Each structure stands twice: as C-alpha cells, then as structure tokens.
A and B are shown apart, each in its own frame.
Chain A
C-alpha cells in the first residue's frame, strides 16, 4: 500500500514539474496581451521605416544602451544597458499601411520583465524628440 502511494506521489511530482517548465517558458507576465500592447506600442505618421529604426538606435544610445543587434529587413533592434543593473530592450519597427510606422518595445530589468508603463512612456517621448514626430497610442 505504502509503495503504491509513494509511486503515486512521485508521479504527481514529476507531472507538476512538467507543467511548471511550460508555465515558465510561455509565461507572458501579469498583464493581458492587449494591455501590454497598448503601453508598449506607438504609431508614427511616416512611411519611412528606416528613419524610424535609425531613430530608435539613436534614442537607445542616448539613454546609455549598447546596441546588440539590428536587422532592417525584420525591423528589429535589441540593446543592453549595464549600469549596476542590466536592462535589456527589444524594439520592433513595422510598416502599418503606407504612411504609418508601428513601434513596439519590450524590456526587462535584471530578471524582471518591465510591465510598468512609465519606462515605455519615457522611451517613446525621447523617440518623438529624436524623430521630430508625434507618437500616437493604440495599434
């Protein structure tokens, strides 16, 4: 009886372990996808994706980030800032129709994803200044 119970417990433990890993890999944080997209994204009234991507690079450098990777074809910039702590950010730049560009940023601070809207707000305000364009919220 005891042996059966022990096997049962081990099985339950193993299964619980499996679901934990899946949760960790696919966890999207506390906020819903829609909430996150609203504060992580802005649109700019320009058809020139390259100018916006270069603007993102300049803005991140001004904030003290080191650019890790850029890809104009995919429209992706990733950068890291080491200043006591490690902040990593990935910004994607996509065309939205012919006369708008959608910019989406997501960042993590040390081991925590940044889900506070304020840092993103600061980033987009600085990007507006670099591009001399006004950012619009909403996708």
Chain B
C-alpha cells in the first residue's frame, strides 16, 4: 500500500521538475533584469515584489498579460509617438564653443554633485550613464493616508524609495556640408526611475516634467562656467 503512495508522490514531484524548463525563458530573463538593477538590495525588493504581486496597484501586472496584449505593448515600446518627439525637444540643448571632453566632464561633475554614481562612460561616442538610490516619501501621500485612517478608509500604498537612471549623450552638430562643426554639440539627457512602494510593488516610468529638464540644463550651464573658471 505504501509503495503506490510513494510512487504517486514521486511522480507528482517529478512532473513539477519537468514543467520548470518550459518556464526557463522567463526565469532566465528575470535574472537578467535583476542583473540590470545591480545591487543585492534591489534584488531583494524585486523578489518581494514577486511574492506580493496580487497586491500591486500598478496598472498592468507583468506576469499576467495575455499574449496579444503583450505583443501590442512590445510594439508600442518601439514606436516613436508625438509625445516622445515632445520629450526629445525637452531633453535636448545645443552647446557651441566647447570641446567634447570639457562638456562631458562638466556633465560628469554635475551628476556627481547631484549624488549619482557614474556607471558607464564612453568618450569616443560621447555617452555617460549614471544612477542613484533616493528616498521617495511623499508628504501628500502621507497626509492622504492620515485622513484615510481618520475616516476609516483603506490605506493606500505610499512611495518608499526609488532608483533613478540617467543617460547623457553628446552628438556633434553637422554643418551644411554634412561634416561635424568644430566645438558644436547637441546634448541629450534622459531620466527614468523605478519607484518602490510600501506594499512592495514597483512603478517604472520615464520622467517627463519639463521643469526637471530645464533645471538640469541650467545647472549644467553653471557647471560648464565653473569648470571654465577653475581650469
């Protein structure tokens, strides 16, 4: 009597093992996503998110998309929309009368001033990428939840912390003959972030506030000026 029972248990266990390779692609890709996020702290957060998935307030939960929706979203990720063109003009500024190393150096100094860790630099292409961990607590959310508690309404998940990613790309300006103009560059900065909430969910977004980009370029102009003075 014991033998059939043992066999049954072992068969069910083995079935689980065989089913795993089918999900292999997903697991491998998830590992790569963790790699992108880098530190073990963030990996823990992502793992937590996985277990807390049902409570997530994010509009679409990644694991539960049907194939058609997923394909549509994949396509939209590679589509240049009018909003993206608007974002491009916010992200871009032209600098004249400056050499690329000095401009890139000023960008790196500014990012360090703002508390970012430089992750990658490529002086031949003119690319800088950096990121920082930052507090994301929002006073308005806290006040909202205070009133929720007061009126015995359910508490909402609040912003906790975030990882902000930034990249700066410098491109030489081409003259009318198609050749790069000496000392003229177009700088383009982009900000994105992963916002983590108190319930373990994450919000991934591109930052689109025009004021953010205006202020960044104001500070960059100051950094270039300062570097010119100290050099």
Contact = CB atoms under 8 A, between A and B. Distances in A.
22 contacts: A2-B2, A2-B3, A13-B13, A50-B124, A57-B127, A61-B88, A62-B88, A67-B190, A68-B36, A68-B120, A69-B119, A70-B120, A72-B124, A72-B125, A81-B192, A85-B60, A85-B77, A110-B29, A111-B29, A113-B25, A116-B71, A120-B78
Contact of B62 (A24, A29, A72, A110): A110
B129 A119 contact: no
Given A82-B204, A83-B205, A118-B71, 5 more contacts: A63-B77, A109-B73, A111-B26, A112-B26, A119-B78
A72 B122 contact: yes
Contacts of A113: 25, 29
B166 A63 contact: no
A116 to B, nearest CB: 5
Contacts of A73: 124
Given A81-B77, A126-B80, A69 B129 contact: yes
Contacts of A118: 71, 74-75
Nearest to A17: B17
Interface of B: 2-3, 6, 10, 13-14, 17-18, 20-21, 24-33, 36, 58-60, 62-63, 70-71, 73-75, 77-80, 84-85, 87-88, 91, 119-120, 122, 124-125, 127, 129, 165-167, 169, 171, 188, 190-194, 203-206
**Which 10 residue pairs across A and B have the least CB separation, nearest first?**
A82-B204, A16-B17, A110-B62, A122-B78, A111-B30, A23-B21, A24-B24, A82-B192, A67-B167, A87-B77
B190 A24 contact: no
A16 to B, nearest CB: 4
Interface of A: 2, 5-6, 9, 12-13, 16-17, 19-20, 23-25, 27, 29-30, 50, 53-54, 57-58, 61-73, 79-88, 108-114, 116, 118-120, 122-123, 126
Q: Is the interface of A mostly helix, strand, loop or mixed?
A: mixed
A92 B79 CA distance: 20
A23 B125 CA distance: 37
Contacts of A30: 25
Given A20-B17, A109-B73, A71 B122 contact: yes
A27 B28 contact: yes
A75 B188 CA distance: 21
B33 A110 contact: yes
A48 to B, nearest CB: 12
Nearest to A53: B125
Contacts of B79: 63, 122
Nearest to B62: A110
A18 B87 CA distance: 47
Instruction: Select the residue from B28, B205, B206 with max chain A CB neighbours within 10 A.
Output: B28
